[in-house]
């Protein structure tokens, strides 16, 4: 059934974007919405409590984060159905974008609650549009897995995508991630967008090789990595288990591990260092 959000009698859940570091990006509509609701559900009540205090707004807060997403979503939906107006905010940017909120949205929809989003900042889009690598199409990946072997596999699956790639990363993992990107994706153009909208905002543009050589001590704060899409070189679609099995088969046939890896690299056209890494990590 079709229904206009603001003309419907159905309850409405407000997904409210939060600044990613600059309070001047709070819109009048955000303030109006937060004043209007009876309850603010949020990722971290301390973070959102401070944010509301800066706006001079005081509201009851309830926490919905990754570890209690199911139970908290149930409680919040029950409150909305009982007539409470609820806004949901994550700590920064949009809810649901590498942040909790998706379960709440799905559960609300199942319970015939309408959803609206109050526009605001998002780190991925700021980084993309200013990177110089924004094309017609882009692919948002968010965080790669922290485990090295899984991260390498994830990157291999992305290697043939022609869209510009967008990643979120934490400073303590940036160097390993840039090395992995250079190894798997090759020497593409890329951009690190750091501390967006804040005083120390910085865009570092260069090749993945250049970016991977930057002293990680100088890459602090929050950051997004934008990487140019594939330029058409097709990488074979084989998973890590199959690659490792190929190496094992050759070792069983009497080849040294080094020669087996070299042979698999030649036949699959997969980077030798990559095969070495996954073979020895597993
Ligand atoms: N929901 C958020 C959004 O819409 O952008 C993303 C939240 S995610 C948990 C946090 C990650 O977003 C950070 O690790 C970083 O990669 C990126 N991020 C958030 N704020 C940023 C900023 N001011 N500058 C650069 N990256 C930022």
How do residues 196-246 score in pLDDT, each as one tens digit? 999 999 999 999 999 999 999 999 999 999 999 998 765 667 788 888 988
- Residue 2 gets the label, from left (phi > 0), alpha (psi -120 to 50) or beta, of beta
- The pLDDT confidence band at residue 159, using thresholds 50, 70 and 90, is very high
154-183 average pLDDT score: 95
Q: What is residue 127's predicted lDDT score, i.e. its pLDDT?
A: 98
Q: How far is the CA of 119 from the centre of ligand 1 (A)?
A: 16
Say yes or no: CB of residue 124 within 6 Å of ligand 1: yes
Residue of the CA atom closest to atom 20 of ligand 1: 20
Q: How far is the CA of 194 from the centre of ligand 1 (A)?
A: 9
- For residue 1, being part of any structural domain is answered with no
The tally of CA atoms less than 13 A away on the side-chain side of residue 269 is 8
What are residue 192's DSSP bridge partners? 204, 225
Q: What is residue 249's predicted lDDT score, i.e. its pLDDT?
A: 83
Q: Which of 183-187, 196-200, 260-264 has the highest average model confidence (pLDDT)? A: 196-200
* pLDDT at residue 250 is higher than 90: no
Q: What is residue 234's predicted lDDT score, i.e. its pLDDT?
A: 57
Tokens 């090395």 belong to residue: 179
Spatial distance between the Cα atoms of 222 and 42, rounded to a whole number of angstroms:
20
Q: What is residue 282's predicted lDDT score, i.e. its pLDDT?
A: 63
Say yes or no: CB of residue 98 within 6 Å of ligand 1: yes
What is the pTM (predicted TM-score) of this model? 0.86
Say yes or no: CB of residue 72 within 6 Å of ligand 1: no
* pLDDT at residue 274 is higher than 90: no
- For residue 233, being part of any structural domain is answered with no
78 Cβ neighbours under 8 A, 6+ residues apart: none
Say yes or no: CB of residue 121 within 6 Å of ligand 1: no
136-148 average pLDDT score: 96
Q: What is residue 190's predicted lDDT score, i.e. its pLDDT?
A: 98
Domains held by the chain: number: 3
* pLDDT at residue 103 is higher than 90: yes
76 Cβ neighbours under 8 A, 6+ residues apart: 39, 41, 62, 64, 86, 88, 104
Q: Please state, in angstroms and as integers, the Cα–Cα distance from residue 237 to each residue in 133, 145, 187, 270, following that order.
A: 26, 20, 20, 10
Is there a single domain that holds both residue 75 and residue 145? no
Is there a single domain that holds both residue 144 and residue 185? yes
Q: What is residue 23's predicted lDDT score, i.e. its pLDDT?
A: 97
Say yes or no: CB of residue 224 within 6 Å of ligand 1: yes
Task: Choose between 275 and 45: higher pLDDT.
Answer: 45
* pLDDT at residue 189 is higher than 90: yes
Q: What is the mean pLDDT of the chain?
A: 94
- The pLDDT confidence band at residue 38, using thresholds 50, 70 and 90, is very high
CATH code, 205 = 3.30.950.10
Pairing of strands 86-89, 12-16: parallel
Domain-terminating residue out of 98, 121, 144? 121
258-277 average pLDDT score: 85
- For residue 89, being part of any structural domain is answered with yes
155-182 average pLDDT score: 95
Q: What is residue 73's predicted lDDT score, i.e. its pLDDT?
A: 98
Say yes or no: CB of residue 122 within 6 Å of ligand 1: yes
* pLDDT at residue 174 is higher than 60: yes
Say yes or no: CB of residue 101 within 6 Å of ligand 1: no
Pocket of ligand 1, candidates 222, 225, 227: which has the most ligand atoms within 8 Å of its Cβ, to mutate? 222
- For residue 7, being part of any structural domain is answered with no
Q: What is residue 267's predicted lDDT score, i.e. its pLDDT?
A: 76
Q: How far is the CA of 149 from the centre of ligand 1 (A)?
A: 24
Q: How far is the CA of 222 from the centre of ligand 1 (A)?
A: 6
Range(s) of the domain holding residue 51: 12-121
CATH code, 25 = 3.40.1010.10
* pLDDT at residue 273 is higher than 90: no
Say yes or no: CB of residue 144 within 6 Å of ligand 1: no
């Amino acid at each position: 059934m079709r229904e206009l959000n603001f003309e419907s009698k159905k309850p409405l859940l407000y997904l409210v974007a939060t600044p990613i570091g600059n309070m001047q990006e709070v819109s009048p509509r955000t303030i109006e919405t937060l004043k209007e609701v009876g309850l603010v559900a949020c990722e971290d009540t301390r973070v959102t409590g401070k944010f509301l205090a800066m706006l001079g707004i005081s509201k009851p807060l309830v926490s919905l984060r990754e570890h209690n997403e199911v139970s908290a979503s149930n409680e919040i939906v029950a409150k909305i159905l009982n007539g409470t107006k609820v806004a949901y905010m994550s700590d920064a940017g949009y809810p649901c974008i590498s942040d909790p909120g998706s379960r709440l949205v799905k559960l609300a929809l199942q319970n015939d609650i309408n959803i609206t989003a109050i526009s605001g900042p998002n780190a991925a889009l700021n980084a993309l549009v200013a990177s110089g690598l924004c094309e017609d199409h882009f692919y948002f990946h968010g965080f790669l897995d922290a485990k090295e072997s899984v991260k390498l596999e994830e990157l291999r699956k992305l290697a043939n995508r022609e869209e510009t790639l967008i990643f979120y990363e934490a400073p303590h993992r940036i160097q390993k991630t840039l090395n992995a990107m250079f190894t798997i994706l090759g020497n593409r153009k890329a951009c690190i967008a750091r501390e967006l909208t804040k005083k120390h905002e910085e865009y570092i543009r260069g090749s993945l090789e250049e970016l991977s050589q930057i002293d990680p001590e100088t890459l602090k704060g929050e950051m997004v990595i934008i990487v140019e899409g594939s330029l058409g070189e097709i990488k074979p679609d084989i998973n890590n288990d199959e690659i490792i099995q190929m190496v094992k088969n050759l070792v069983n046939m009497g080849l040294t591990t080094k020669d087996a890896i070299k042979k698999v690299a030649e036949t699959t056209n997969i980077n030798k260092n990559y095969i070495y890494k996954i073979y020895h990590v597993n």
